[in-house]
Structure 1
């Protein structure tokens, strides 16, 4: 069965945070191919518009006759005032959101405890934790009122197992895992689904941000192995969303075949 089951994705409205690049962009394009309507959020307006254009083109190329409408909203999820004002920016015909993909997130530095910059800690928690919670709190009220909805949080292998040099980032992703687990239990008496996607090594601009723009250092993270791509994770997200309504993929832990933990990877091959 295709993940693009028309009866499950066609015409659904999907809100994706951090949609201007990487996993968020790939996820938007894949949902568009399935005939879903999109509300795309990101801090950067120009890249976001390019993703929207690509999503519209993907929908057109798919031949699906319904859905495919795209709305973009420039918004920083780490700013609670902006999140609180989100509904005022969403067109009225888009407000029955079916799926929330909390994808916005980042990592900053690999400093060890004692040397981690306060600004890096603040940035990671503001987006990875507080932003994710703020957006979810806003939408979950509507999901409960309509007795429907699916929250998909992009977590990380780092939320399952810590590693040296990742203290604050690992803590932020552990918080995502804990939050997802609590929400899952809170909505157990409803049709609302909660999924956490937990990727291992994914080659996107994520590592470039972590290494403060040093692309050569970022590239070394993936030396000798074939990492996951943004499209790989997008497939897992859309797959989870396309399951039958009574099926909930609570956790999807996905690794490149040569990775077994944050610190254990076989690098005997080549990309």
Structure 2
């Protein structure tokens, strides 16, 4: 009997994470959907008709350890981790920056990636064909006014990913980074800005910003290449966005 391949997706309760869980289920993975909002995870798994829902807060060592224990109990090989949990809070200038917001962004985007990767790496390596996909951002490469906290966190996250790839060279684990530009989801801009009108203004006049399914497609494509093929970094933007600061609005 062929053992099933297991994929863990963090931040799976909405947006890119939920879209990725749906796409990977179609690719034949047993998806472990992990996030804080257990009710949303249960609904997602019910929709998929398979998989596992595990409540997990990536800012908690104990919660991540419990996630790893749940994965260990499953019948199958953990071959894919998608570090998707992340987010932004606030758009303050550095001079008025909220230390609490900056600390939260670092803890979720950087230390959350570290915690989950550390916890699941032994199983990924023992599978003989593991892949770690981390969802970063084009904010990892360019800074902009009002984005100091988020760009700092995403710069740190991409440094973590690049270092991990070097350290795993020669081992059967690929390290992939997906860096989206402007992606319109239900919650990212709203959570960051705290106001629906301000969130809507981010995408105002932009023809066809990316959506969660676009990024899920990129993740699935990179993860399903032959295992000797490593997509180190995939930067993806809508055609209306030529760079972080260059967005065409109609």
Give TM-score, length-normalised by structure 1: 0.87
Rounded to whole Å, the distance in 2 between the matches of 1:80 and 1:165 is: 30
- 1:172-200: CA deviation from partner (whole Å, max 9, x where unpaired): 11111111111111112122101000000
1:17 matched residue in structure 2? 10
Taking a change above 3 Å as real, the CA distance of residues 91 and 147 of structure 1, as seen in their structure-2 partners, is: closer
Once the 2 structures are TM-superposed, how far is the Cα of residue 95 of structure 1 from its aligned partner? 6.2
In the superposition, relative to structure 1, how do residues 176 and 95 fare at CA in structure 2: closer, same or farther (>3 Å)? farther
Correspondence 1:181 to 2:162 = yes
Q: Which residues of 2 match residues 90-169 of structure 1 at below 5 A? A: 90=71, 92-94=73-75, 96-169=77-150
Helix, strand or coil for the counterpart of 1:121?
Answer: helix
Gaps of 5+ in 2: none
* Two-structure CA RMSD over aligned residues (Å): 1.6
SS at match of 1:232: helix
Q: Does the CA-based 8 Å contact 2:4-2:77 persist in structure 1? A: no
Q: Give every structure 1 segment of 4 or more consecutive aligned residues whose post-TM-superposition deviation is greater than 6 Å.
A: none
Shift in CA distance, 109/128, structure 1 to aligned 2, threshold 3 Å: same
Residues 161 and 261, structure 1, Cα contact 8 Å, conserved in 2: no
209, 215, 218: which is aligned to 1:236? 218
Query: In structure 1, how many angstroms separate the alpha carbons of the residues matched to 2:159 and 2:120?
Result: 19
Match of residue 264 from structure 1: 246
Deviation, structure 1 residue 94? 4.2
State the Cα distance separating 1:150 from its structure 2 match. 0.3
> 2:234 — aligned with what?
252
More strand by share: 2
Number of residues of Structure 1 aligned to a counterpart in Structure 2: 247
3-state SS of paired residue (1:219): helix
In the alignment, the residues of structure 2 paired with residue 23 and residue 55 of structure 1 have an alpha-carbon distance, to the nearest angstrom, of: 16
Q: Distance in 1 between matches of 2:143 and 2:137?
A: 10
Using a 3 Å threshold, how does the CA distance of structure 1 residues 168 and 95 change in structure 2: closer, same or farther? farther
CA distance in 2 between partners of 1:95 and 1:129 (Å): 28
* Matches of 1:131 and 1:95, distance apart in 2: 24
Partners of 1:80 and 1:131 within 8 A in 2: no
CA distance in 2, matches of 1:258, 1:26: 22
1:199 aligns with 2:180: yes
Residue aligned with 2:133, SS: strand
CA contact (8 A) 2:80 2:124 kept: no
Alignment of 1:202-217 (within 5 A): 202-204=183-185, 205-212=187-194, 214-217=195-198
1:171 to 2:148 alignment: no
Deviation at residue 260 of structure 1 after TM alignment: 1.5
183 and 91 in structure 1: CA distance in 2 versus 1, 3 angstrom threshold: closer
Name the counterpart of 2:28.
35
Secondary structure (helix, strand or coil) at the match of 1:73 reads strand
CA distance in 2, matches of 1:144, 1:242: 17
> Partners in 2 of 1:209 and 1:41 — Cα distance?
19
TM-score by length of 2: 0.94
SS at match of 2:115: helix
Asked if 1 retains the 8 angstrom alpha-carbon contact of 2:129 and 2:227, the reply is no
